[in-house]
Structure 1
Amino acid sequence: MEPMASPRPRFSGRGGFVKSYMPKEYTNWKKQFLLAWSLYQAEKFEQGQALSVKIIFYIKPPASFSKVKKNHPLLESEVIPVNKKPDIDNLQKSVLDALNGYAWHDDNQISDIYARKLYSLKPRIEIWIEGVENNV
């Protein structure tokens, strides 16, 4: 599915109370992401297990970019890095927050992370998760 960056929370206030919430588009994305994740029937890592995570975000190129014929071989080989929005840290946050309680107990278990964003004609997210050996 297409990557989505984590937005900032929104705030509303009535009667002296301030309530924060996430935009509906984002909460719907997280539900779809978790549905797709559940299809893989991946096991949840144990609480306390240090994890290494690698995420590659394949992002749809702008129409002006993808219409240029010379770009098609590069887009098909998925080697063009994205140096525009969305910010990679917000893309990571959306995935890490969505997987809390599903792939791991809490994303504080992640001790090592690698992320990359590339243009692709097939937008998607690829994730690798491995347990890290404790050498203490």
Structure 2
Amino acid sequence: MTIYTKATAQGRPRFNGYTHRAYDDAKSREWKREIGYEMKQAYKHTPIKTPIALMVYIEIEPPQSWSNRKRERVIHTPITNRPDLDNYIKAIQDSMNGIIYLDDKQIYKLYAVKRYGKENKITLVVKGET
């Protein structure tokens, strides 16, 4: 499954002082809702109930402020600056809960890549193990 959108990292959790519960910041919550909708459109089956191997490929366009020459040169090269890869993965896994699988605790194997690409996109490969 490929989703053509810019990946957003999971933000720091916010805490409600009255209930003492954590919740997502507005940016993370809205992005997860948007990605969840895209996943529901692409995946019309019941959630997977078996252990899962997940592969995530995140491609991000180079900044517009870079020269065209530099932008072309960095395509398919790893991104090593912030936000961290694991923060992207957390947001993606949370958005898949209840749609692709029942809960992200089912994931026992994970492979992830964050690199520059010609367009913003997230490619997901999900394999249910039996």
TM-score, length-scaled by structure 2: 0.85
Aligned to 1:33: 35
Q: How does 1:27-106 map to 2 (within 5 A)?
A: 27-47=29-49, 49-64=50-65, 67-75=66-74, 78-106=75-103
1:108, CA displacement in angstroms? 1.2
SS in 1 for 2:40: helix
Runs of at least 5 residues in structure 2 that lack an aligned partner in the other structure = none
SS in 1 for 2:78: coil
Q: Percent identity?
A: 25
Aligned to 2:20: 18
**Matched pairs, number:** 126
Once the two structures are superposed, residues 8-57 of structure 1 have per-residue CA deviations (whole angstroms, 9 ceiling, x without a partner) of 1112425xx4343211111111111011111213424432x111110011
- Residue 61 to residue 13, structure 1, CA distance change in 2 (3 Å): same
Cα separation, 2, equivalents of 1:50 and 1:11: 32
What letter corresponds to residue 70 of structure 1 in structure 2? Answer: R
Measured on the aligned residues, the alpha-carbon RMSD in Å equals 1.8
Larger gyration radius, structure 1 or structure 2: 1
What letter corresponds to residue 51 of structure 2 in structure 1? Answer: A
TM-score, length-scaled by structure 1: 0.82
Cα separation, 1, equivalents of 2:21 and 2:43: 35
Cα separation, 2, equivalents of 1:8 and 1:2: 19
Runs of at least 5 residues in structure 1 that lack an aligned partner in the other structure = none
